[in-house]
Amino acid sequence: MITATSSGKRTPALPREEHGVPGRSTSGGFAGALACEWTKLRSVRAPALCLLAGLAVTAVFTFYYASIARINEQAVQPVGNAAAASVVVTQFAAVVLATVAVTSEYSTGTMRASLLWVPRRHRVQAAKALVTGIVVFLTGALSAVVGTVVAWVAFDGRASFDAATTIGQILAIGVYQALVAVLTVGVAFSARHPAGALSALAALLWALPSVLLGLGGDALAAVNDALPYGAGDRFMRVGGDAPYSSATAVLIVAAWTAAAHLTGLYVLRRRDA
């Protein structure tokens, strides 16, 4: 099918979603879409720079966190809490990576090629979300390992170490960061512009929780516990008086992620590239 642009040039129209139409290629199915997204992600510098920045910030933050705890002679706490606390900052490395993975295709026009190659919109979005989620999970867990090692040295005896607890916190950090990356993919598909996506996510993951906790009060604290980072913090940290279980906390984050993903898919199906 051919469409005419405002300049009079004729360009191929983007195909609509196909559901089992005989003889129509889906470019290798979902496996092909995953391979395509992985190739795109690793062929540019921005994702690697985001992940390296996250790793560096984790090391600096955990050293500072543990040093303050040691200097102030705070109560002994699990060493993994330092890495969990650093996520308030380092989650934005995952946000930027996932945002760039989506919005760069809109800004350069390559989203049209992606949708021509894989006409099924849900497959494009799911592949991008899965690839970014896996990459962020692995790098988030690696950053947590580095942060835990740095914090153990800086705590200088003011932290406890239990292998099962520490490994659980490292995996929890990776899971939370992966969910944030998938959430970001959904928001980015909705906004289609990096400024809009990053503004919305900064408000949701940092500004709003900061305001709620800064104002204080049980009611505002309960609202914060229902937000992605509030629930994620309960999921990653050990100790304290949590209003719900770790399983409930990760389900809250997953619910936000699913809502963002479905919203992005709705926009993607309603509007072409």
Q: Is the distance from CB of 201 to CB of 211 less than 8 angstroms? A: no
Mean pLDDT of 256-269: 94
pTM: 0.86
Model confidence band, residue 3 (pLDDT cutoffs 50, 70, 90): very low
Mean pLDDT of 95-111: 89
Structure tokens at 257: 């992620």
Q: What percent of the chain has pLDDT over 90?
A: 64
Q: Which of 94-103, 111-120, 190-199 has the lowest mean pLDDT?
A: 111-120
Mean pLDDT of 4-8: 47
The number of beta carbons lying within 10 Å of the beta carbon of residue 214 is 8
10 pLDDT exceeds 80? no
